[in-house]
Amino acid sequence: MTDDAERDIEDICRHVAAYDAIDRAAHILANLERTCRKLSIFPDRGNVPKELARIGISDYREIHWKPCRIVYRIDGRRVLIYCVLDGRRDIRTLLQHRLLR
């Protein structure tokens, strides 16, 4: 998991804890971590994010734990998680900024 992805999860949980409940934030954290761990078993299960496919980039995949989108790339036997984003945000701009810099 990249530092950016870890920060994404921290930000999501911090936001939920502040505006909803700490228990809800803990639930989200546990589920995001479990979803990310499952990628080591089934890395091909995700699909290419449509925002990236539209511009011809197919190196990245995504899986969902709604409303979050986990964006990753398979590198040999490793899975690199680049982003954990709230799917209700402007994902196209976030992906282009984060992955194409």
Query: Is residue 46 a contact partner of residue 61, using CB atoms and an 8 Å limit?
Result: yes
pLDDT in the model for residue 4: 94
Per-residue pLDDT tens over the stretch 82-93: 999 987 777 777
pLDDT in the model for residue 9: 96
Q: What is the mean pLDDT of residues 19-40?
A: 95
Instruction: Domain of residue 18: give its range.
Output: 3-99
Q: CATH number, domain at 88?
A: 3.30.2310.20
Enter the pTM of the model. Answer: 0.88
Cβ within 8 Å of residue 18, ≥6 positions away: none
| pLDDT bucket at 101, cuts 50 / 70 / 90 | low
- Farthest CA pair distance, the chain: 40
83/32 Cα distance (integer angstroms)? 12
Average pLDDT, the chain: 91
39/44 Cα distance (integer angstroms)? 8
Total structural domains in the chain? Answer: 1
| pLDDT bucket at 78, cuts 50 / 70 / 90 | very high
Tell me which residue of 97, 83, 99, 85 sits closest to 1, measured CA to CA. 83
